[in-house]
Amino acid sequence: MNPVGDISDLEYKELVGKLCLIKMHAPGVLEELFGHGKSRDEWVRTKGGVLKPMRTAEIDGPLLKTYLSVFSSKIASHDIVQSTHC
């Protein structure tokens, strides 16, 4: 049984696998995302104007910014290559 009660065991195994890949290929990113003091509980207004309790996070670490920059560059270059082919 998985420790996260609202997902299936298969989804949990996939999640663990993806987290392991992130740790292996992007060391330090998970710590920047989920490290101590990165998230807090707040009341956030939805599009409908209703206040709901949500967990918010400030994602501003240098590793994450670098990985996102590289990722966005790869997406942009892929889009350029795709648009030049018929």
**Could you report the per-residue pLDDT of 52-84, keeping only the tens digit for each?**
999 888 778 888 888 888 888 888 887 666 666
Q: What is the pLDDT of residues 8-61, one digit of tens each?
A: 889 999 999 999 998 998 888 888 888 777 788 999 999 999 999 998 887 788
d(CA 76, CA 72): 6
pLDDT band at 2 (very low <50, low <70, confident <90, very high): low
Cβ proximity of 34 and 53 under 8 Å: no
Q: Could you give the 3-state DSSP secondary structure of residue 60?
A: coil
For the full predicted model, state whether its pTM sits above 0.85.
no
Q: Report the chain's C-alpha Rg in angstroms.
A: 18
**Residue that has been written with the tokens 């350029």 in this structure:** 80
